[in-house]
A and B are shown apart, each in its own frame.
Chain A
Amino acid sequence: MAEKTLKIALIACIIIIIALGGALGWALTRVAAPTTIEYPIGLAIAVSGPYAVEGPYRRDAALMAIEEVNTMLEQAGSPIRFKPIHEDSKGTAEGAKAALEALAAAGVEVVVGPLSSKEVSAVKSYVDEHHIVVISPSSTAISLAVPDDFIFRMVPTDAAQGRGIADLIWYYGQEHVVVIARDDDYGRGVADVFEEEFTAKGGEIYRIMYDPTAGAYPTEVEELNTKVSDWVSTYGADKVAVLLVAFDDDGRDILSRALTYTTLRGVSWYGSESTRRPTFLPPEAPEEIATFMMDTGFKNLFPTVGMNPVREKFYENYVAKYNKEPTPYSYFSYDAAWVACLAVLAAGKYDGDAVKAVLPDVCKRYIGASGYKKLDENGDVMATDYGIATVAIEDGSYVWAEIGIWHFTTREITIYD
């Protein structure tokens, strides 16, 4: 009996391997006469796990960019086309490595993504060895700033954001801040820089780091309320603030619980750049969250680009195509995909080394939906000024309204009238 089952197992294995080999052989021999030259662009963008909500927005933005490049090439009569291949990197190191391996097997040498610093860190040695150019639209960890590697990043590192938030809160006169942050690479990165900058000014902070996979945060919000109440009774409500470093689901859960506490309604709230998402506002979030944010003067920072024609066009096209508003990081994904395609065209060949060589020059001459993309010596976008936004009602709808700007070079804050 055992021999029989072993035979069945072996036959099953052999059939699977033969089927796999046959399929691959068929694929490899199936060469159609090319009328166009297709270059694959890998999209290692997580659409599950921590990015289940926001990942699809970024993927769609990158897909739209590639579609636009193809339209442009078609109109110009060029035989070149870009073919997007999306792999869900799952927001984990293992998922990112598997996605990169799959893309490498498909012959991809230019990749948009992964999204998080932890994923970028996990694939770094792999892409460096295989000479695959990786353009991350949202990795911000300072520790990944390394010169002459195959990693490029389209968003400034956490250093600028952390500094900006510290300056903003200090500007409004709050000296005691309770930070409630995701306990992951993003949350820890922002909280670390903020703590360093804010305490250097003489401020005091208290950190509550939460597990972003928990799903519900009643204990953390209770702790937040206890600490804020304690400080309010000692220093007064005008001297105390809350800084929320969160993504969509966790952020909304915390805000929906916080609004039930009177003390938490009475102090100023600030947020990381990741809170500047339409998913925090109606219709995607309950109206009471938006009201709470207005009541507490919730403010956040985001790399500013001002309105430019590219940004406006992107917004219009995105809404028309997908019937939803782009998230702030969608702008960066869109630019990352555009830069990837332009770099391949500028290199004149589909080769990781060639693309890596021309990419800084391409970026130096590129102003996209998320602004000017000049890179520093580490291949990261140079820090820019940050827009300060708060929740407002325009034409009966809740929106993020820009009320000022934080200047990166001078560290000054200008609040518009």
Chain B
Amino acid sequence: MVILPLIISIFTFFGLYLILSISFNLEFGYAGQPNFGKVLLYGVGATCAGRLVATIVMWYVGADVPFFSALAADMRLRWGAESPLATAGLFVLALAVAMVVGGAIGYLLSYPTLRLSGDFLAIVMICAGEIFRIFLKTYEPLAGGPFGLSGVPGPFSFVPDPHLKETLYMLLVLAIAFGCYFFAQKLVNSPYGRLLKAVRDDELAANVLGKKVVRVKAEILTIGSAMAALAGALYAFYIRGVYAEDFVPMVTFTAVTMTMLGGLANNQGVLLGCLILTLFDRLTRASFFNMLGIRVAFDISYIRYTIMGLLIILIVMFRPKGLMPEEPVKTPAIEMAEEKLAKRAEESTSP
């Protein structure tokens, strides 16, 4: 049973970052919009979900204790344990609100993309993420400022066994993550996917051909941002709180690294990249080596960061397109064309 927390940790983290990485891949890999402000939407999703649920629960409980205190957090979690239907309803509501707000912000973020592109857009997006983090940390009434907001009851709060509760939540996160994965696959293997690539490869040409480039950019940023906000909301329920200092640029870079490692514009590659980096993060810890009966004579923490950095450098140097490079879009039309071409070739070579 002791191994279970590690499995839960690995696959919950994997699920969250799979959603985040796929959203980045849709925006950057397929549509060429370097949204390096992933953490902004991730944070917005977490804040919306955490704050909404905590507020509704406190309003319902009606206790006169400071909103951000540990006592209030305990009360919220106890209430969650006693109200299974209500917490499930709140969970669904919170995810929906987070996605709507995230999507709306993503739509607004499409405006800078009209004037900026490439590195400049990436920098603006990174700044937007930092502005959000600083605002969240400075403005206490939103999520407790630097102290954070704790005690956000999850959908399985009513389950008494903590291991079972966390396992169920992990499965839920994985189900949602794979739902996002299949949605993204469907999207990019449709005519819309080809349109995204057309915008990415040559905006001018796409415009000349009558494609509404501005609208496409706005749409994909809305979809990607809603997905990132969804990941953030799921994160808030996983950690049962909202802490401003969790929304650092490193979150974005982790998602970017996972995407780069797997392969830009290849969702299967992203899945692989997420899995490899998550396993690397969780299985290069002192606790894991201890479980294997291996004693490490030095503090492995520093070595982990070094190896991670080295890995990124090696990938960029030797596999710049990732482990699974981009492939042509598979559509029935292309398949038919390939078949016809193959047939013709066969006919021409036959006597």
Q: B327 on the interface (CB 8 Å rule)?
A: yes
Cβ-defined contact, B3 with A143, below 8 A: no
Shortest Cβ gap from B181 to chain A (Å): 12
> B73-84 vs A: 1/0 string, CB under 8 Å?
110010000000
Cβ-defined contact, A118 with B151, below 8 A: no
Contacts of A86 in B (CB 8 A): 286, 299, 301
Cβ-defined contact, A101 with B148, below 8 A: no
> B217-236 vs A: 1/0 string, CB under 8 Å?
00000000000000000000
Cβ-defined contact, B150 with A124, below 8 A: yes
Cβ-defined contact, A144 with B70, below 8 A: yes
Cβ-defined contact, B2 with A104, below 8 A: yes
Determine the distance from Cα of A104 to Cα of B9 in the docked complex, in whole angstroms.
Answer: 10
Determine the distance from Cα of A252 to Cα of B155 in the docked complex, in whole angstroms.
Answer: 46
In A1-31, which residues have CB < 8 Å from any B CB? 1-2, 5-6, 8-9, 12-13, 16, 20, 23-24, 26-28, 30
Cβ-defined contact, B147 with A20, below 8 A: no
Per a CB cutoff under 8 Å, which of B2, B151, B299, B305 touches A125?
B151
Shortest Cβ gap from A27 to chain B (Å): 4
> A86-127 vs B: 1/0 string, CB under 8 Å?
111001111001100111111110000000011001101110
In B47-100, which residues have CB < 8 Å from any A CB? 66, 68-71, 73-74, 77
Cβ-defined contact, B148 with A118, below 8 A: yes
Contacts of A122 in B (CB 8 A): 148, 150, 239, 241, 243
Cβ-defined contact, A102 with B241, below 8 A: no
Q: A209 on the interface (CB 8 Å rule)?
A: yes
B29-37, B172-180, B191-199, B288-296 - interface stretch = B288-296
Cβ-defined contact, B146 with A118, below 8 A: yes
Shortest Cβ gap from B157 to chain A (Å): 10
B19-27, B110-118, B277-285, B341-349 - interface stretch = B277-285
Q: A211 on the interface (CB 8 Å rule)?
A: yes
Cβ-defined contact, B13 with A98, below 8 A: yes
Contacts of B288 in A (CB 8 A): 102, 105-106
Tell me what chain B mostly uses at the interface: helix, strand, loop, or mixed: helix
Shortest Cβ gap from B148 to chain A (Å): 5
Determine the distance from Cα of A103 to Cα of B305 in the docked complex, in whole angstroms.
Answer: 19
In A125-153, which residues have CB < 8 Å from any B CB? 125-126, 129-130, 141, 143-146, 149
| A3: nearest chain-B partner, CB-CB | B330
Determine the distance from Cα of A23 to Cα of B146 in the docked complex, in whole angstroms.
Answer: 40
Most chain A CB inside 10 Å of its own CB: which residue of B69, B162, B301: B301
Determine the distance from Cα of A59 to Cα of B282 in the docked complex, in whole angstroms.
Answer: 21
Per a CB cutoff under 8 Å, which of A85, A94, A102, A213 touches B6?
A102
Shortest Cβ gap from B40 to chain A (Å): 16
Cβ-defined contact, B287 with A102, below 8 A: yes
Determine the distance from Cα of A75 to Cα of B275 in the docked complex, in whole angstroms.
Answer: 47
Shortest Cβ gap from A231 to chain B (Å): 24
Per a CB cutoff under 8 Å, which of A30, A97, A141, A209 touches B293?
A30
> A175-204 vs B: 1/0 string, CB under 8 Å?
000000001110111000000000000000
Known: A5-B266, A5-B268, A188-B146. A101 touches B6 (CB 8 A): yes
Per a CB cutoff under 8 Å, which of A16, A97, A98, A129 touches B275?
A16
Cβ-defined contact, A93 with B241, below 8 A: yes
Q: B129 on the interface (CB 8 Å rule)?
A: no
Determine the distance from Cα of A159 to Cα of B66 in the docked complex, in whole angstroms.
Answer: 16
Contacts of A129 in B (CB 8 A): 162, 165
Shortest Cβ gap from A18 to chain B (Å): 12
Most chain A CB inside 10 Å of its own CB: which residue of B7, B239, B282, B293: B239
| B273: nearest chain-A partner, CB-CB | A9
Contacts of B324 in A (CB 8 A): 5, 8-9
Shortest Cβ gap from A142 to chain B (Å): 9
* Interchain residue pairs with CB less than 8 A apart (30): A1-B328, A5-B268, A13-B275, A24-B291, A24-B292, A47-B301, A87-B286, A92-B245, A94-B243, A98-B9, A98-B13, A101-B9, A103-B287, A105-B5, A105-B6, A105-B7, A105-B287, A106-B287, A106-B288, A118-B146, A118-B243, A118-B245, A121-B148, A124-B70, A125-B150, A125-B240, A126-B162, A143-B69, A183-B146, A189-B147
12 further A-B contacts with Cβ under 8 Å, apart from A32-B293, A86-B299, are A1-B328, A87-B286, A101-B8, A102-B287, A105-B291, A106-B288, A121-B147, A124-B70, A125-B77, A146-B70, A183-B137, A189-B147
Q: Which residues of A come within 8 Å of B, CB atoms?
A: 1-2, 5-6, 8-9, 12-13, 16, 20, 23-24, 26-28, 30, 32, 40, 42, 47-48, 56, 59, 83, 85-88, 91-94, 97-98, 101-108, 117-118, 121-122, 124-126, 129-130, 141, 143-146, 149, 183-185, 187-189, 209, 211, 213
